Amino acid sequence: MQELLGGQYGEITVAMQYMFQGWNSHLPGKYRDLVFGIGAEEVGHVEMLAVMIAQLLEEAPVEQSEAAIKNDPTVAAVIGGMDIQHAIVAGAGARPVDSMGNPWSGAYVTASGNLLADFYNNAAAEMQGRVQATRVFHATDDKGVRDLLSFMIARDTMHQNQWLAAARELVEEGYEALPVPSNFPLASEDRSVAYQYQNFSDGALASTGSWASGPSPDGKGEFSYVDGPQDHGVVTMPGTTTPDPRLYGTTDTPNVLEKVKGKIKDVL
Amino acid sequence: MQELLGGQYGEITVAMQYMFQGWNSHLPGKYRDLVFGIGAEEVGHVEMLAVMIAQLLEEAPVEQSEAAIKNDPTVAAVIGGMDIQHAIVAGAGARPVDSMGNPWSGAYVTASGNLLADFYNNAAAEMQGRVQATRVFHATDDKGVRDLLSFMIARDTMHQNQWLAAARELVEEGYEALPVPSNFPLASEDRSVAYQYQNFSDGALASTGSWASGPSPDGKGEFSYVDGPQDHGVVTMPGTTTPDPRLYGTTDTPNVLEKVKGKIKDVL
Amino acid sequence: MQELLGGQYGEITVAMQYMFQGWNSHLPGKYRDLVFGIGAEEVGHVEMLAVMIAQLLEEAPVEQSEAAIKNDPTVAAVIGGMDIQHAIVAGAGARPVDSMGNPWSGAYVTASGNLLADFYNNAAAEMQGRVQATRVFHATDDKGVRDLLSFMIARDTMHQNQWLAAARELVEEGYEALPVPSNFPLASEDRSVAYQYQNFSDGALASTGSWASGPSPDGKGEFSYVDGPQDHGVVTMPGTTTPDPRLYGTTDTPNVLEKVKGKIKDVL
Amino acid sequence: MQELLGGQYGEITVAMQYMFQGWNSHLPGKYRDLVFGIGAEEVGHVEMLAVMIAQLLEEAPVEQSEAAIKNDPTVAAVIGGMDIQHAIVAGAGARPVDSMGNPWSGAYVTASGNLLADFYNNAAAEMQGRVQATRVFHATDDKGVRDLLSFMIARDTMHQNQWLAAARELVEEGYEALPVPSNFPLASEDRSVAYQYQNFSDGALASTGSWASGPSPDGKGEFSYVDGPQDHGVVTMPGTTTPDPRLYGTTDTPNVLEKVKGKIKDVL
Amino acid sequence: MQELLGGQYGEITVAMQYMFQGWNSHLPGKYRDLVFGIGAEEVGHVEMLAVMIAQLLEEAPVEQSEAAIKNDPTVAAVIGGMDIQHAIVAGAGARPVDSMGNPWSGAYVTASGNLLADFYNNAAAEMQGRVQATRVFHATDDKGVRDLLSFMIARDTMHQNQWLAAARELVEEGYEALPVPSNFPLASEDRSVAYQYQNFSDGALASTGSWASGPSPDGKGEFSYVDGPQDHGVVTMPGTTTPDPRLYGTTDTPNVLEKVKGKIKDVL
Amino acid sequence: MQELLGGQYGEITVAMQYMFQGWNSHLPGKYRDLVFGIGAEEVGHVEMLAVMIAQLLEEAPVEQSEAAIKNDPTVAAVIGGMDIQHAIVAGAGARPVDSMGNPWSGAYVTASGNLLADFYNNAAAEMQGRVQATRVFHATDDKGVRDLLSFMIARDTMHQNQWLAAARELVEEGYEALPVPSNFPLASEDRSVAYQYQNFSDGALASTGSWASGPSPDGKGEFSYVDGPQDHGVVTMPGTTTPDPRLYGTTDTPNVLEKVKGKIKDVL
């Protein structure tokens, strides 16, 4: 349950992510209302999960869990990894951490200011979140917990659909397009490799995929396939560098310091 | 440049992410070759960026940067925030950190074992990566750096297209579908709220979006719109809990410890 | 035990916190001697705990713990979550981590240069620390461990009292006062809301507390109660922003880049 | 500004802290309404700061800041350290990080289930927060920013007073007392050192403080002063340990492995 | 196994460390080939471990582990601490984290640009790595896992020897010497304490070691022994500081702000 | 300066590392006295640096640094990246963080219980530390700072020599040997690859090093050289895995869930 609350794709992440996307939004109207609205809903999910965890922990220690452990060693093992800080630090309360005790991190939040990139990120986050929730679903047969998860899994279904619909609409209305960001002049990228599948793998089966021939999803190119990395100048390993001698790196002129004496003011 | 190397959506992240997706893959054939192949390509990008950074730093300290700083205070400011650990820790070398010095973290990697969820994640990561690279593009007018970025931005174009093509193909071939994960029985989720837009925002404009009416992208439902949060039983704030007295929480029976004396063995 | 050593409110935290408060102290005399003195004492507590943990681990693996586990599944579960890195990384030794394996972090240390703020922080840390130590007390019936904890819990009693006494004395001697920092001119804060309880909660019971009417603890105001958030101008959600086009955000002028062509030098 | 938003004592911290204290609360009524109410208010402060930062960044890059930098090198230096990820990652938006780019961490949240310990923590957090806000106040002379800070500094004044009033009331109503936790039987702690100032510092001035003689704030003891650490048995450095030979530590019986051969099953 | 993959001295660390040392190398030729070559080998070890972990997890949940747990509570306990995120997040796959779930961190990588310092670091890392691998060896009696570990432990033997050989050769060829960095003018360090053992410990046995008398390993000095810390001027605790009044620290001139009124522009 | 205090190889790290090695020591006598003694000395160095930083910061803000910045843009840039949290959080005081603001982490500490591995680690840490201190030496021409650094660089010289002497003595006295750990039966490792240089690099120059032929430093083998990775069975990429269907991974039997219906109890 803590993974769904404070994990990388937990409810704290999506709540904060959608709120920051709203605060950083440069586009007024329905899209901004959308990110704020779903962000507010996710705050409610944070609350549901935190309260549910606190209730589950209420009876956990000590006689109760001793009994559970004695009857079912699997439960014993799971509890073993779970409730140390719940007990010592939170006194049988929920915590803003994931299922291994890693504190929730602001680094989980993505809000780039580019809505198409962010909407795809949101859709992907809801997919990871639904995958995790369905896995947790099987770890319990408590009716109350399953009801809560059943509700949340359905909302993840809604949110996956909704972010993909919003991404599609954003493109249809001309605000953004593939490749993201669409405003960057295509002439400034190296178009010769922009639709070329370069096979770096030992296996060659990737050549049979729809990403190796035919039109690209952005409608602006045709996929091609080349076997192995291609030379592009930039990939040639250049010579070694010779940094400032005051950084005391190891160079092929070990007495370089001698030579520059007088030229640099602060040695001797 | 460090952001593109060791940031959340930098080359280390995508290289590690695709490799872990390959190692954890449960599906042999073209999709596994694909994640391994692109993972290997991204390892090459890590190398390109690291070498480029080391070369840029070669001449940075000290006379060189003093000159730059004296001529252009903007450069001075940027260098000020950037090269402290580059100089002291790495001796004018690249580091596995982002542009603010945060070490790269294994938490950036997503490899869930569900390929459709992961492919959407990959596409979103390439979008964020391309957005960041285009922003860095404007921070320099060095020809060599711009050539490298132009190459990488084009590869990001390829990778956005490729992951979306792979996601589409995965669905068409019946391996997975929306909502992810498609194997979870829909009957086990609360279908009554699975396509319902619940407006938690002050603004009502979200009701006009394609996510509030019409068919859903997964083809399994019809969007609807309701204003404000709905009651679902689970959201009612329950009563407070009364945990084990040995956790010394604050309860409305402050002398509860007295009452349980004798029942619990290890107090006194 | 690791929580008491390397957790957020463990002995490493208070030892480092009091030492840094001493090094950063701007006030000579008894207060500086106090923070240094207690800091040195806490270093001793770090040692006591580390040595105790090493001794407990001495016999833990493997036959010993196998036996314990066979006899008592609760112990099995606790050990299961605890000794993985103790064994693999430290070879049956203590580590500077908390009970979930999170490394101790310099971010736990508070030393602001303002002694009244810091003394309240110290008192609060000793309260959290004593709460945690009493919880751990019940997790064992080993006589040696309980003796050590009994000693440490008593020192936490002393330190709670001592920091509150020091805070009171600091105010009585005129060095600082509530609200902290007392040197900031009160006229520069918005006095109209400085003693006003604004109820943002659904429940209205907070109106009956001593924080909603009557004199304030700082002796400089009278509490009042207002229901719901008040308008203060600043809280009105402003319009969206339009950042530099070279950042490629999504705006309502998607072709804004076209318009600024010629004005910015590094595109095209 | 980012420090006030995503720093250790920033608005995200207090918002999350008060909410978790509410969800984990074991005491119904006014105290629970209080933590929920102030938590909700702090969520509003998060929004104010995030929106303000986004607006400040709107005009920051590039011409604008170039001009500022040219006119005022101090501004140049500050911007240099600040806006790298704001630009590259967030596209001129706010981020859930502190002023040095460290992501906000769930480890900042304290919610122990013991309300007196937590209320002191809340008061201390508001003191640190007000100290930081007054320092930031001097870093700008922008009217809008100063108005926002003036409002927030006043709310910090309110919250310092309020948490201290709530702590006092909690004690007066008999829910909790000093030392925290008050339910732990005093007889189980080593009372002989519970009010003794042990001087570990070189300076002896701490002996003159109110923490070295006279009645203690908890009303349950009398302070005393002893010079230097006292022997309590537990502090004697014990002999070294001899862990399981399969952990390959360095011991004074380097060939211990030979001796146990046959006794442990999995070597050879 | 996760410790050997994503821990501080796991395979990801050494792979990344040697690659960064190569990219940052200032010395062409055999040493650069060496760090690149071993870095590439370690990437292969990352793959071996990740695949092995994924295979071990394949059958782990749920019936399988239930059976194992029922038969052997030790296994139950170990699994309890281990597979929570493996199951929920990775779907029975490997993850870039250590055995306690801490994400791998870029801070584990050392690449200073000084090859002698780095080679000693590499040798030490291979020692820690071999110690950990031998400890894990005893945690299983699975033939396949033991074969993999037997191979890796042998490679650690090779790498310990190789980095020490490389360090010796680097010195013999005159590129670097002890003390590192050898280019820093010895006259700029305080030579009077450069070979002096200063005993800060209660025990005096350290005086009998080869580090307290006789020639030093760098061949440039003679060890000596002095009991207790020596006065060197710098260690005298200086007076307290008086920082800028706008930082609102606690000083012995509490009304200092009054005095500077008029001198600083932004208060009042 | 903050890097030398709170960085990965700063004084806090070595102080804590040597203390933990002492607490975890399994070997009484001179080696234990040694780690405790040097640990105590390093605590003194932490104090020196913290006090020096506080003194340097005393005059830094605001007029002072304004002047410095106006006269020397290089200083402006350095200060720009440095003093944000020093000012806002610490009020012109030192902090337990590195030069980029990353909090010191318990993960920096190495104490494995194997003294030879740990002594090499200590020697390497002192090398990195001395490299960093010499680099910082050039960043200032303040006499007091240079005197302190000159003292510390000399102590790093002592400590490099001392740990290498202690490592040598530990081997000579038979407590430990190469390869570490020497107690692990060599017969349990794959001796066929224990002294074999396997060239994974494009360059072949590594074949000319002393690590590719001749006797190995541990005196137990002879180096050999083979070009390219060798087959060892374990490296063959195995088939994909098929995890428990309740984890909803993507497999080549997408309807596997159907097939197992009835066999697993908690789906439907």
Model confidence at B150, in pLDDT bands (50, 70, 90)? very high
* pLDDT confidence of residue A190: 93
Cβ distance C166 to D209 under 8 Å?
Answer: yes
pTM score above 0.90 = no
Q: Is the pLDDT of residue C79 over 60?
A: no
* Alpha helices in chain C, H assignment, sequence order: 2-6, 11-23, 30-58, 63-71, 73-88, 115-137, 143-172, 256-260
Q: Is the pLDDT of residue F119 over 70?
A: yes
| C-alpha distance from residue C93 to each of A227, C84, D174, E180, F120 (Å) | 52, 11, 43, 31, 19
User: Is A76 near chain C, with CB under 8 Å?
Assistant: yes
SS3 A245: helix
E-chain residues near F218 (CB < 8 A): 157, 160-161
Q: Are D246 and E131 an interchain contact pair (Cβ–Cβ within 8 Å)?
A: no
Q: Which of F187, F242, F177 is nearest to F216 (CA)?
A: F177
Closest approach of C184 to chain F, Cα-based (Å): 14
SS3 D196: strand
User: Is C203 near chain B, with CB under 8 Å?
Assistant: no
Burial of B168 (0-12, 13-18, 19+ CB in 10 A): middle
Q: Are E154 and F191 an interchain contact pair (Cβ–Cβ within 8 Å)?
A: yes
Token digits for A212?
């190796």
Q: Are E240 and C26 an interchain contact pair (Cβ–Cβ within 8 Å)?
A: yes
Q: Is the pLDDT of residue C220 over 60?
A: yes
Token digits for D113?
């289930």
Interacting residues of B104 by C-beta distance below 8 A, sequence separation 6+: B6, B7, B10, B12, B13, B96, B97, B98, E105, E106
* pLDDT confidence of residue D167: 96
Q: Which of A97, A76, A144, A93 is nearest to A3 (CA)?
A: A97
* pLDDT confidence of residue B28: 85
Model confidence at F71, in pLDDT bands (50, 70, 90)? very low
Token digits for D239?
């002999």
The average pLDDT across F45-62 equals: 78
Q: Are A257 and E73 an interchain contact pair (Cβ–Cβ within 8 Å)?
A: no
% chain C with pLDDT above 70: 81
User: Is C254 near chain E, with CB under 8 Å?
Assistant: no
- Dist. CA B89–CA F102, nearest whole Å: 13
* pLDDT confidence of residue F177: 94
Q: Identify the chains in contact with E, defined as 3+ C-beta pairs within 8 A.
A: A, B, C, D, F
**pLDDT tens digits for D178-217?**
999 998 999 999 999 999 998 887 778 889 999 999 999 9
- Dist. CA C216–CA C194, nearest whole Å: 10
User: Is C267 near chain B, with CB under 8 Å?
Assistant: yes
**pLDDT tens digits for C141-169?**
788 889 999 999 999 999 999 999 999 99
* Alpha helices in chain D, H assignment, sequence order: 2-6, 11-23, 30-58, 63-71, 73-88, 115-137, 143-172, 256-260
User: Is C135 near chain B, with CB under 8 Å?
Assistant: yes
Cβ distance D130 to F91 under 8 Å?
Answer: no
Q: Which of D47, B211, D57 is nearest to A15 (CA)?
A: D47
User: Is A243 near chain E, with CB under 8 Å?
Assistant: yes
Q: If residue C214 lies in a helix (H) or strand (E), which one and from where to where?
A: strand C214-215
**pLDDT tens digits for D29-52?**
899 999 998 999 999 899 889 888
Q: What is the mean pLDDT of chain C?
A: 81
Highest average pLDDT, of B24-33, B229-238, C122-131, C257-266, comes from: C122-131
Q: Identify the chains in contact with F, defined as 3+ C-beta pairs within 8 A.
A: A, B, C, D, E
| C-alpha distance from residue D181 to each of B249, C135, C143 (Å) | 8, 10, 22
In a mutational test of the C interface, the residue from E83, E100, E127 whose CB has the highest number of chain C CBs within 10 Å is E100
Q: Identify the chains in contact with B, defined as 3+ C-beta pairs within 8 A.
A: A, C, D, E, F
Cβ distance D78 to D136 under 8 Å?
Answer: no
- Dist. CA C66–CA C74, nearest whole Å: 13
Pairing state between β A214-215 and A222-227:
antiparallel
- Dist. CA D126–CA D153, nearest whole Å: 10
Q: Which of F35, F44, F53 is nearest to F11 (CA)?
A: F44
* pLDDT confidence of residue D78: 43
Closest approach of A28 to chain F, Cα-based (Å): 34
Q: Are E252 and C70 an interchain contact pair (Cβ–Cβ within 8 Å)?
A: no
Smallest CA–CA distance from F48 into chain C, residue:
C23
E215: left (phi over 0), alpha (psi -120 to 50) or beta: beta
In a mutational test of the D interface, the residue from F3, F104, F120, F183 whose CB has the highest number of chain D CBs within 10 Å is F183
Q: CA angle at residue E245 from E244 to E247, to 5 degrees?
A: 80
Q: Residue F141, Cβ neighbours under 10 Å: how many?
A: 10
Q: Are C246 and B135 an interchain contact pair (Cβ–Cβ within 8 Å)?
A: yes
Cβ distance F117 to D248 under 8 Å?
Answer: no
The average pLDDT across E234-260 equals: 66
CB-CB: which of C135, C248, C266 is closest to B131? C248
User: Is F114 near chain C, with CB under 8 Å?
Assistant: yes
* pLDDT confidence of residue E62: 46
User: Is C158 near chain D, with CB under 8 Å?
Assistant: yes
% chain B with pLDDT above 90: 46
Closest approach of D9 to chain A, Cα-based (Å): 14
Highest average pLDDT, of C75-84, E246-255, F145-154, comes from: F145-154
What does the radius of gyration of chain C's CA atoms come to, in whole angstroms?
A: 27
* pLDDT confidence of residue F83: 59
User: Is A258 near chain F, with CB under 8 Å?
Assistant: no
Q: Are F81 and B80 an interchain contact pair (Cβ–Cβ within 8 Å)?
A: yes
SS3 F175: coil
C-chain residues near E3 (CB < 8 A): 84-85, 88-89
Q: Is the pLDDT of residue E231 over 60?
A: no
* pLDDT confidence of residue A236: 52
Smallest CA–CA distance from C54 into chain F, residue:
F24
E-chain residues near C181 (CB < 8 A): 248
Token digits for C34?
């106090």
Q: What is the mean pLDDT of chain E?
A: 81
CB-CB: which of E80, E239, E268 is closest to C81? E80
Burial of B263 (0-12, 13-18, 19+ CB in 10 A): exposed
Cβ distance E104 to E97 under 8 Å?
Answer: yes
Peptide bond into D217 cis (omega under 30): no
- Dist. CA A259–CA A268, nearest whole Å: 13
* pLDDT confidence of residue C221: 94
User: Is D99 near chain F, with CB under 8 Å?
Assistant: yes
- Return the amino acid letter for E129: G
User: Is F90 near chain C, with CB under 8 Å?
Assistant: yes
Q: How far is CA C118 from the centre of its chain?
A: 11
Smallest CA–CA distance from A146 into chain F, residue:
F266
Q: Which of A9, A3, A5 is nearest to A122 (CA)?
A: A9
Model confidence at B152, in pLDDT bands (50, 70, 90)? very high
Cβ distance D178 to D218 under 8 Å?
Answer: yes
Smallest CA–CA distance from B85 into chain E, residue:
E112
Question: What DSSP string describes B31-86?
Answer: HHHHHHHHHHHHHHHHHHHHHHHHHHHHS-TTHHHHHHHHH-HHHHHHHHHHHHHH
- Return the amino acid letter for A197: Y
Interacting residues of E192 by C-beta distance below 8 A, sequence separation 6+: F154
More confident residue, F68 or F26: F26
In a mutational test of the F interface, the residue from E47, E89, E120, E132 whose CB has the highest number of chain F CBs within 10 Å is E120
The average pLDDT across F47-67 equals: 69
More confident residue, F69 or D122: D122
CB-CB: which of C74, C254, C267 is closest to A69? C74
Q: Given 3-state DSSP classes, what are the helix, strand and coil percentages for chain A, each rounded to the nearest 5?
A: 55, 5, 40
* pLDDT confidence of residue E110: 93
Closest approach of D260 to chain A, Cα-based (Å): 31
Token digits for D189?
């702690």
Token digits for F259?
């097939």
Model confidence at F204, in pLDDT bands (50, 70, 90)? confident
- Dist. CA E7–CA F167, nearest whole Å: 25
* pLDDT confidence of residue C229: 66
Of C132-141, D247-256, E158-167, F167-176, the range with the lowest mean pLDDT is D247-256
**pLDDT tens digits for F215-234?**
999 999 999 999 876 554 44
Interface predicted TM-score of the whole assembly (ipTM), two decimals: 0.85
Cβ distance C147 to D192 under 8 Å?
Answer: no
- Return the amino acid letter for C134: T
Cβ distance D226 to C191 under 8 Å?
Answer: no
More confident residue, E261 or C15: C15
Q: Identify the chains in contact with A, defined as 3+ C-beta pairs within 8 A.
A: B, C, D, E, F
Low-confidence ranges of chain A (pLDDT < 70): 59-83, 229-237, 253-268
Pairing state between β D222-227 and D196-199:
parallel
Q: How many residues does chain B have?
A: 268
Phi then psi for E43, rounded to 5 degrees? -60, -40
Q: Is the pLDDT of residue D254 over 80?
A: no
User: Is C102 near chain D, with CB under 8 Å?
Assistant: yes
**pLDDT tens digits for E141-162?**
788 889 999 999 999 999 999 9
Q: Are F250 and B32 an interchain contact pair (Cβ–Cβ within 8 Å)?
A: no
- Dist. CA A258–CA E51, nearest whole Å: 51
